[in-house]
Amino acid sequence: MIEIIPAIIPTSYTEIEEKIKKIEGQFERVQVDVVDGEYVPNISWPFNDSEFDFDFGDGNNEIQELPYAKYVDYEVDIMAKESHKYFDTFVNLGATRIILHLGENTDETKEFIEAVSNDARDGVQVGIAIHQEYDMSVVDKFANVVDFFQVMGIDKVGFQGHEFTQKTFEIIKYIKINYPEMEISVDGGVKVNMLEELEKAGVSRAVMGSGFWDNIE
């Protein structure tokens, strides 16, 4: 059965806490979307928090983990320039799944993933977000180094409330034909009435933002 993963684009750490409380005990995993304000024209916590220190090495960061990290599995979707540079930060905060978005230098991102130690990969899954405009050569390039693909269901990433595009199914089909064992998440524009069709297409996980929270709040 397809897994539903609620997604949060948080304005603050407190917002994550508040939303987790609303679904406590109902979902095992939550996605936190973090946006740097440069990769796309939107910004979220922690990039909008001048007090947050991305360098955990100095021990000065007051926030040591994501809220309720002992009880909830977090995946963090990093929509930032050179997103791989923030990998360690969010692993240190307790994320067990990381989604990286590609910039101009895809080779650099691939090399980074390949360099993540086996010990680290035992505790953290790594995926790549596949955007609507990507050539499928991107899928081929990363298929042997990632644990899963996250297919973006919308044209405009970094925002919630946009409409799902049918091209998403073409991307899913390409992955399932060429890499049938690959796990696929779909993120963006997903509504409850789409879940059955997505599952039939081979999708394992449906990430839902406004389509989920609009029915909770």
Q: Of 142, 151, 137, 145, nearest to 186 (Cα)?
A: 151
CATH number at residue 50: 3.20.20.70
Residue 60 lies in a domain: no
The tokens of 86 are what? 């923030």
If pLDDT is split at 50, 70 and 90, which confidence band does 159 have? low
For residues 117 and 153, the answer to whether their CB atoms sit within 8 Å is: no
In a domain, 156, yes or no: yes
Side chain identity at 144, as an amino acid letter?
A: N
Q: Is the pLDDT of residue 195 over 90?
A: yes
Q: What percent of the chain has pLDDT over 70?
A: 94
Q: What is the mean pLDDT of residues 175-186?
A: 98
State which residues form the domain around 182: 3-55+66-213
Q: Is residue 174 part of a domain?
A: yes
**Residue 61: inside a domain, yes or no?**
no
- Predicted confidence band at 69 (pLDDT cuts at 50, 70, 90)? confident
Q: What is the pTM of this model?
A: 0.93
Asked whether residue 84 is domain-assigned, the answer is yes
Report the distance separating Cα 127 and Cα 159, nearest Å.
20
Number of domains in the chain: 1
User: CA–CA separation, 58 vs 67, rounded Å?
Assistant: 21
